[in-house]
Amino acid sequence: MNAGSGSDPERDVPADGGPDRGGPGAVELSKDENERDLTAVHKAVVASAIGNCVEWFDFGVFSAGVMTAIIGTVFFPEDAGGSASLRSFALIAAAFLARPFGGMFFGPMGDKLGRKRVLATTIMLMSGSTFVIGILPGYGTIGIAAPLLLLLVRLIQGFSTGGEYGGAATMIAEYAPTRRRGFFGSFLEMGTLTGYILGAGLVLLMDLALTTEAMHNWGWRIPFLLSLPLGLVGLYVRTRIEDTPTFQRMEEAGKKAQSPLKETLEHYWRVILMLIGIVFLLNVADYTLLTFMPSYLVDFLEMNDTTAQLITIGVEAVMIMVIVPLGALSDRIGRKPLLITAAVGYIVLAWPAFALMQTGNPVGVALGYAMVGGLLVLILAVIAATFPAMFPTKVRYGAFAIGYNLSTSLFGGTAAVLVGSLIDVTGSNYVPAYYLMLAGLVALVPIIKIPETAGVPIEEAGERKALEPVGSGAGARS
């Protein structure tokens, strides 16, 4: 029945999908133990997803059209160069610049000290710095210190975010039962979309409810202030769970890496490069859809701002509904079929999607937007289960955080600016489509090369000696 390594996930995992005990000779659990372990898994999922929610809540607030205009005027002098939106995008880009450094700092720390402690730190920093933006005085009150303080806060946000996603995905992957890693991992990206919708939706609601003057004077601060209670909830849940069973076992066995950063860069740089290639497509699609598209619809397709926001939020609401079933599907058929479908889909459908949007018809725009979003959700549903499984436990957090944030910084933060600039230069509204097609081509190579890890216990995933998936799961070779 088993191929490859000796452990059998059918024997090691309880029938109702309790947490992965891993390894051969695992003891069968009683029903009470199974229920307690599933409770721990649920807590870990909530703890991880809520951090992602906070991160993208801030992003949704900051990148909302009306907010970029307000931020650009409140914190900068009236005669500052460039448009208000451009200044806001520059601040967004600053946060992206800090992310790889956060990944290099928090990632190896998480491999050495444990996931739980680092994740508690990152969520405090993230929600705290977002809250500070809401109480920062404007340029009119403290002068030049206003944009400088704002820049500093954005850098801290980016630095803490660098350690957030890698740790959150690692925590879920190491807590989840082997055969349900895709299902539980998809909740992380559900947190992403939920946070973004909450942030963007809240800004939209306030913009509709308040007058322009009220929104400009004090209304814009409310969404930033709300991030603190969100963060406190996340902190509470994260401090109430134990560190991941996989990390605890590794710690007890004395197999922690002495120098995780050095070992990561020395032995796993090829895998990190493959990760960067796949995340390139993820980031181009993600940030094009979430950051660039709302302003693309307004600035280049001359659509009404509210309509653009509603289409964005509507498509993402549908994405939230399908992401978890897709994650569960990946546990049955594997991660790679979904990733390959997405990559090929962007190569084939990106141009038709933007062609539909050019019609100006709201239905056509929504259809085109839905095509891009529908392919993106195929990727989002599986990445939280796929990426941690590319690395062994002792360097997982660090390697994942470094690769993911480097790629996000290079391609995610620059996506909106690059595409906007190319449209200005070339005069073609199809530039986002060409960029997506290029990203699909680049990502297809590492997607085909990486091993299938659905059905592979997380302790064995990423190990060089055990690349064959075992058991009767989707990954078993025929």
Partner 1 sequence: MRIPKRVNTVLDWIEEHYLALGVVVALIAVALVATLAPRSVGIPVAAFILGLAAGGFTVHVRSSRRVARVRADVDNLLRENGALRHRNTVLASGVITREAQETQALMSIPEDDLPLAEGDAHGSDVTQATVTLDELMEGDPQSTDELPEEEVEEVIREDDPQRTTVLPTIPDDFADQKADRKAGQRNAANDSRRS
CB of 351 to partner 1, least distance (A): 7
Task: Classify residue 427 as left (phi > 0), alpha (psi -120 to 50) or beta.
Answer: left
Query: Which is closer to partner 1, CB of 300 or CB of 351?
Result: 351
DSSP code string of 225-287:
HTHHHHHHHHHHHHHTSPPPHHHHHHHHTT---SSHHHHHHHHSHHHHHHHHHHHHHHHHHHH
Whole-Å CA distances, 37 to 32, 51, 180, 221, 247: 9, 22, 14, 41, 16
CB of 215 to partner 1, least distance (A): 39
CB of 471 to partner 1, least distance (A): 9
- Single-letter residue type at 440: G
- Single-letter residue type at 291: T
Query: Which is closer to partner 1, CB of 259 or CB of 341?
Result: 341
CB of 347 to partner 1, least distance (A): 9
Number of DSSP helices (H) and strands (E) in the chain, helices first: 21, 0
CB of 369 to partner 1, least distance (A): 14
CB of 431 to partner 1, least distance (A): 17
CB of 402 to partner 1, least distance (A): 33
Say how far apart CA 155 and CA 338 lie, in whole Å.
34
Say how far apart CA 299 and CA 313 lie, in whole Å.
18
- Two structure tokens written together for 119: 């994740």
Query: Which is closer to partner 1, CB of 415 or CB of 474?
Result: 474
Query: Which is closer to partner 1, CB of 338 or CB of 419?
Result: 338
Query: Which is closer to partner 1, CB of 285 or CB of 356?
Result: 356
Say how far apart CA 390 and CA 377 lie, in whole Å.
20
CB of 3 to partner 1, least distance (A): 11
Among 476, 473, 478, smallest CA distance to 182 is for 473
Query: Which is closer to partner 1, CB of 166 or CB of 471?
Result: 471
- Single-letter residue type at 318: V
Query: Which is closer to partner 1, CB of 154 or CB of 336?
Result: 336
Contact residues for partner 1, defined by CB under 8 A? 1, 332-334, 337, 340-341, 344-345, 348-349, 351-352, 355-356, 472, 474, 476, 478
CB of 178 to partner 1, least distance (A): 16
Query: Which is closer to partner 1, CB of 344 or CB of 467?
Result: 344
Cα dihedral: 52, 57, 59, 61 (round 10)? 180
Say how far apart CA 369 and CA 312 lie, in whole Å.
8
CB of 332 to partner 1, least distance (A): 7
Query: Which is closer to partner 1, CB of 71 or CB of 349?
Result: 349
Helix %, strand %, coil % of the chain (to 5): 75, 0, 25
Asked if 169 and 400 count as a contact pair (C-beta separation under 8 A), the reply is yes
Query: Which is closer to partner 1, CB of 1 or CB of 27?
Result: 1
Residues 6+ positions from 56 with CB-CB distance below 8 Å: 191, 192, 193, 194, 195, 196, 199
Query: Which is closer to partner 1, CB of 26 or CB of 340?
Result: 340
CB of 21 to partner 1, least distance (A): 21
- Single-letter residue type at 443: A
Query: Which is closer to partner 1, CB of 282 or CB of 454?
Result: 454
Asked if 399 and 264 count as a contact pair (C-beta separation under 8 A), the reply is yes
Among 468, 459, 385, smallest CA distance to 12 is for 459
Q: How far apart are the first and last CA of the chain?
A: 11
CB of 349 to partner 1, least distance (A): 6
